[in-house]
């Protein structure tokens, strides 16, 4: 793995751990945001590895499509794109993020969280 790609991957792993800690502490808005960041950074790591270029975008669907991520991950990317905005701003979604997110919607129930976050690196 190229050095710059490895840096992005290591940060993705750190963001994933932070997301899991936030989930345990019931800070669901932060858990969601940190999960989005983990996926974004893992995609950017892979993009750097494949194309030797850093795409400075936050759209996970765009990155996933460029990386030919399997279609079953795209729905999760759509959800995380929405979370990226709603978890950060108090004037989006009708409630402040701390009240908007709950355990029920913080992580899709039918997913293996780490697999979704880290799988794209092994494609």
Q: Name the percent of the chain lying above pLDDT 70.
A: 85
Q: What is the DSSP string of the chain?
A: --HHHHHHHHHHHHHHHHHHHHHHTT-HHHHHHHHHHHHHHHHHHHHHHHHS-------HHHHHHHTT--HHHHHHHHHHHHHHHHTT-TTSSSS-HHHH--HHHHS-TTS-HHHHHHGGGG-
- The pLDDT of residue 60 is 96
Query: Between 75 and 11, where is the model more confident?
Result: 11
For residue 112, the model assigns a pLDDT of 59
Number of independent structural domains in the chain? 1
As a whole number of angstroms, the distance between CA 59 and CA 24 comes to: 27
* Domain span holding position 55: 3-122
Please report, for the domain that includes residue 46, its CATH number. 1.20.120.330
> pLDDT: is 72 or 54 the higher one?
54
Q: What is the pTM of this model?
A: 0.87
């Amino acid at each position: 793995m190229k050095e710059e790609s490895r840096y992005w991957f290591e940060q993705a792993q750190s963001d994933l751990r932070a997301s899991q800690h936030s989930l345990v502490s019931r800070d669901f808005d932060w858990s969601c945001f940190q999960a989005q960041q983990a996926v974004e950074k893992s995609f950017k790591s892979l993009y750097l590895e494949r194309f030797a270029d850093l795409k400075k975008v936050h759209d996970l669907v765009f990155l996933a499509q460029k990386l030919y991520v399997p279609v079953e991950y795209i729905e999760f990317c759509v959800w995380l794109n929405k979370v990226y905005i709603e978890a950060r701003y108090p004037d989006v979604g009708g409630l402040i993020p701390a009240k908007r997110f709950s355990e029920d919607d913080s992580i899709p129930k039918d997913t293996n969280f780490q697999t979704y976050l880290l799988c794209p690196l092994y494609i």
